[in-house]
Structure formats: structure tokens, C-alpha cells
């Protein structure tokens, strides 16, 4: 009788071998995903600073140039090409002093034609006025003749009246004398009224003609004055700057050919980054370093128009009596935006560009670990620390460009 031999289960054996392998692989994968990423850096390649408890002052710094307190542009009134140059850039000039002469033949020809036309109109108006005067003179002559005829008629009337009363003069002749006297009397009265009205009308016309002639003369005066605009003169006394005309160079009407600076005080003008536009206002005070001393300044004007990411600020020296200032020199201006406050501060560095101030590497021995932080206000030197750091913490403040995704840095000597 045969004996039954039992076969071993190969599937169980394989399962016992696969399970440990799967567990090991799972552990390795889990460890790989949960292990913090590390990166090795040289100590000489990084900058380490300590977090401090210090006074934080909100202020900004920017560069400003010294310019005259008052200036005036020298503008071209009548365009043309440069014909003569009388002064040099940087010269001191007085009001009315010739600077440069321009030439424009087309404009000059137009001026001559306009001048001729105006003179012709003035002559026509004067002729019309003379005609009215002659008309008045003729009326006056006629009136004298009529008055003479009236006086003759009156004398004859008085004489014939006596003769008629003495019955020397015939009745028919007396009637003729009466009729002639009446006619001459009425004629004189009518002519006198006519002459009076004519004179009144002529006076009104002459007044209007005189007014028109006055306007024409004003136009002629302005025209002749405009002809002199080709000669550009200094509008006030001061130092001439930005004045660079060249013989033959053409300037159009309204262009600026230079600037005259009134040498009676100075101000500061600065181009400031648009980031500070909402933090700067007129009246804010600050200071500059001049000959190792603090000199107070005050913002007098903020021009909010932003060009190429910058806007203009003007400042005055609060006291500049004893300052030997020179046009064009630059100062570093410090404007205080708040009072000093005791808080935790962190030195500024390149890390901010890579982290936006949301995290930082804190150094502990030869390692640096990434932690989350929260920063507040800033000035050109420090950030205000709100959360995540405490005084005496040592942190890396240099750029994180090469290890943005790293969590632990191994610092090697």
C-alpha cells in the first residue's frame, strides 16, 4: 500500500519573503520623503548676524542735490536759428542783458508785410478823420455866409420898417423886405440846427476813428516789439546755466534755451523711489551731514507724478545763513518718519529678496535650520521683528539663491 506524501505550500514561502522586502522599501521611501533636505555651505560664503533688542527708528535715506532757491527758464519767444552769441554758460548776467540773437527770414518778412498793412490802415483812418474836419470847416463857412445874409436882411428890415411907417416906402417893397427877413431868419435857424447835429455826428465818428487809430498803433507797437524778440535777453539777474546754443542751431517757439539761477539761497531737489510716495509729506523734517555737523532740512514740496519709478521732492534748509553751499553738490538726506521705539531688530540683507521676509535660517552650532518669521516695518538698516525670533538668535542674512528649497544647512569651515 502506497504512503501519501504532503507537498509544502510554495506561495506561503514567497509571501514570507516579499513582506519584509515591502516593509523595508516602504520604510526607505517614508524616510526619504520625511527626511529634511540638507545642503552644505562654506562659512566664508554666508553672512551671519545676531538678532538684537534695540531702538528702532522709522526713517528713509535718499540723495538730493543743491539747487538755487529760485530759478527762471529763458524761453524762445520767436523761433529761429542762432545768429550771434553774446555770453557763455555759467556767466553772471543782469536783467535785460542780451544773451543770443536768432534769425528767421520768413517771420521777419511776415512782420514787414503786417507792419505795412497796419500803417496803411492808420493812414486811411487819419484821412477819414481829416475829411470830417474839412466837412466841419465847410459847414462853418456856410454858416458864416448865412449869418451874414441874415444880418443884411435884418438891417434892411429895420430900415424899411421906419420908411414904411413914415409912408416913404411902398407897401409892396415892404412886403418883399418882410418876406426876405423871414426867409433868412428861418434859413439860419435850420442851418444852425443842421450844423449842430452834423458836428455831433462828426465828433462821434472822430472819436471812433481815434479809438481805431489807437488800437492800430498798439498793434503796431506790439508788432515792432515782437520783432525784437529775436534778441533774447536775461529776464532777471543771476547766474546763467544750461545755456548751450550753437551758431546755426534752430530753436522753435516755446523752447528753453537756458536757466537763470537767482543766487539768493539754496534748496535740495531729490528723485525718490515711488515706494516712499505715501510715506512722505510736506512739512516733514530731516537732516543732512555738512562738515561733520547735522543740518536740519524740511520738505517743502512733493510732486507726486511718477516717472520711471521715481518722483520729485524739494527740501529747504531750515537755517542756511552760515552754510557755504555750492550748486550741484549732493547730500544724503535722512527723513524721520517716527519716534524711536524699543523692539527686536534684524540687520537687513539679501535673504529678504528670496524669502519675502517669511522665513530665515537660524544658526545653531554648525547647522542652520529654516524657521518661519514675521517682519514689520523697515528702515535702510534694520527690519522690525514681530514673530519667530528673539534677541541673540544668530541668523544667516546673506542671499538664499542657491538653497531656497533647503531646510537644514550644514556649515563647513
Q: Per-residue pLDDT tens for 322-368?
A: 777 777 888 889 888 777 888 999 998 989 988 988 999 999 888 88
Q: Predicted confidence band at 266 (pLDDT cuts at 50, 70, 90)? A: confident
The answer on pLDDT for 265 being more than 90 is no
SS3 267: strand
Check if the beta carbon of residue 58 is closer than 8 Å to that of residue 345: no
Average pLDDT on 17-37 reads 59
**In the block, residue with C-alpha cell 542671499:** 399
pLDDT at 119: 85
Q: Per DSSP, what are the bridge partners of residue 40?
A: 410
The answer on pLDDT for 238 being more than 80 is yes
200 Cβ contact partners less than 8 Å away, ≥ 6 residues apart: none
pLDDT at 204: 86
pLDDT at 31: 44
113 sits in the region (left: phi over 0; alpha: psi -120 to 50; else beta) called: alpha
Quick one: angle between helices 105-165 and 171-227, nearest 10? 170
Average pLDDT on 363-377 reads 90
Mean pLDDT of all residues belonging to the chain: 83
pLDDT at 14: 62
The answer on pLDDT for 4 being more than 70 is no
Q: Per-residue pLDDT tens for 132-143?
A: 888 878 888 888
Q: Per-residue pLDDT tens for 281-310?
A: 898 888 888 888 888 899 999 999 999 999
- Which has the higher per-residue pLDDT, 194 or 234? 234
Helix, strand, coil fractions of the chain, as percent rounded to 5: 40, 35, 25
SS3 199: helix
The answer on pLDDT for 198 being more than 60 is yes
pLDDT at 57: 82
Check if the beta carbon of residue 120 is closer than 8 Å to that of residue 102: no
Percent of the chain with pLDDT over 70: 91
Q: How far apart (Å, rounded) are the C-alpha atoms in residues 157 and 176?
A: 10
pLDDT at 393: 92
Q: Predicted confidence band at 1 (pLDDT cuts at 50, 70, 90)? A: very low
Average pLDDT on 43-58 reads 88
pLDDT at 11: 58
Average pLDDT on 363-391 reads 89
pLDDT at 34: 46
Q: Predicted confidence band at 32 (pLDDT cuts at 50, 70, 90)? A: very low
Q: Predicted confidence band at 9 (pLDDT cuts at 50, 70, 90)? A: low
pLDDT at 312: 93
- Say whether pTM exceeds 0.75: no
**Lowest-pLDDT choice from 116-130, 215-229, 248-262, 348-362:** 215-229
pLDDT at 373: 92
pLDDT at 184: 85
The answer on pLDDT for 160 being more than 80 is yes
Rounded CA Rg of the chain? 52
- Which has the higher per-residue pLDDT, 14 or 300? 300
Cβ-count burial of 218 within 10 angstroms (0-12 exposed, 13-18 middle, 19+ buried)?
A: exposed
Q: How far apart (Å, rounded) are the C-alpha atoms in residues 172 and 163?
A: 13
pLDDT at 26: 61
Amino acid at each position: 500500500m502506497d504512503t501519501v506524501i504532503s507537498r509544502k505550500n510554495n506561495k506561503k514561502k514567497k509571501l514570507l519573503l516579499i513582506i519584509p522586502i515591502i516593509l523595508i522599501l516602504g520604510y526607505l521611501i517614508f524616510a526619504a520623503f520625511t527626511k529634511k533636505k540638507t545642503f552644505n555651505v562654506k562659512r566664508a560664503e554666508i553672512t551671519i548676524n545676531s538678532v538684537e533688542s534695540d531702538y528702532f527708528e522709522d526713517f528713509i535715506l535718499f540723495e538730493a542735490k543743491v539747487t538755487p532757491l529760485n530759478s527762471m527758464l529763458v524761453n524762445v519767444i520767436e523761433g529761429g536759428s542762432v545768429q550771434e552769441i553774446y555770453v557763455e554758460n555759467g556767466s553772471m548776467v543782469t536783467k535785460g542783458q542780451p544773451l543770443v540773437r536768432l534769425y528767421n527770414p520768413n517771420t521777419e518778412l511776415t512782420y514787414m508785410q503786417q507792419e505795412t498793412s497796419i500803417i496803411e490802415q492808420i493812414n486811411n483812418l487819419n484821412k477819414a478823420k481829416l475829411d470830417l474836419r474839412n466837412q466841419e470847416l465847410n459847414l462853418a463857412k456856410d454858416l458864416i455866409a448865412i449869418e451874414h445874409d441874415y444880418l443884411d436882411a435884418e438891417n434892411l428890415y429895420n430900415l424899411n420898417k421906419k420908411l414904411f411907417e413914415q409912408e416913404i416906402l411902398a407897401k409892396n417893397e415892404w412886403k418883399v423886405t418882410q418876406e426876405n427877413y423871414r426867409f433868412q431868419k428861418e434859413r439860419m435857424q435850420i442851418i444852425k440846427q443842421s450844423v449842430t447835429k452834423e458836428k455831433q455826428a462828426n465828433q462821434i465818428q472822430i472819436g471812433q476813428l481815434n479809438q481805431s487809430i489807437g488800437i492800430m498803433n498798439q498793434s503796431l507797437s506790439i508788432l515792432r516789439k515782437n520783432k525784437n524778440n529775436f534778441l533774447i535777453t536775461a529776464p532777471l539777474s543771476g547766474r546763467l546755466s544750461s545755456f548751450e546754443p550753437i551758431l546755426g542751431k534752430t530753436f522753435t517757439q516755446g523752447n528753453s534755451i537756458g536757466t537763470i539761477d537767482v543766487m539768493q539761497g539754496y534748496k535740495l531737489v531729490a528723485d525718490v523711489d515711488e515706494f516712499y510716495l505715501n510715506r512722505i509729506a510736506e512739512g516733514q523734517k530731516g537732516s543732512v551731514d555738512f562738515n561733520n555737523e547735522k543740518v536740519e532740512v524740511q520738505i517743502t514740496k512733493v510732486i507726486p507724478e511718477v516717472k520711471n519709478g521715481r518722483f520729485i521732492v524739494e527740501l529747504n534748509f531750515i537755517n542756511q545763513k552760515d552754510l557755504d553751499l555750492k550748486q550741484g553738490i549732493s547730500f544724503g538726506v535722512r527723513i524721520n518718519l517716527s519716534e524711536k521705539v524699543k523692539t527686536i531688530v534684524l540687520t537687513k540683507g539679501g535673504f529678504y529678496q528670496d524669502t519675502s521676509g517669511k522665513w530665515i535660517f537660524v544658526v545653531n552650532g554648525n547647522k542652520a535650520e529654516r524657521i518661519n518669521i514675521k517682519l514689520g516695518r523697515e528702515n535702510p538698516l534694520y527690519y522690525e521683528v514681530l514673530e519667530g525670533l528673539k534677541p541673540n538668535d544668530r541668523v544667516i542674512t546673506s542671499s538664499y539663491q542657491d538653497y531656497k528649497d533647503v531646510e537644514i544647512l550644514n556649515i563647513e569651515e
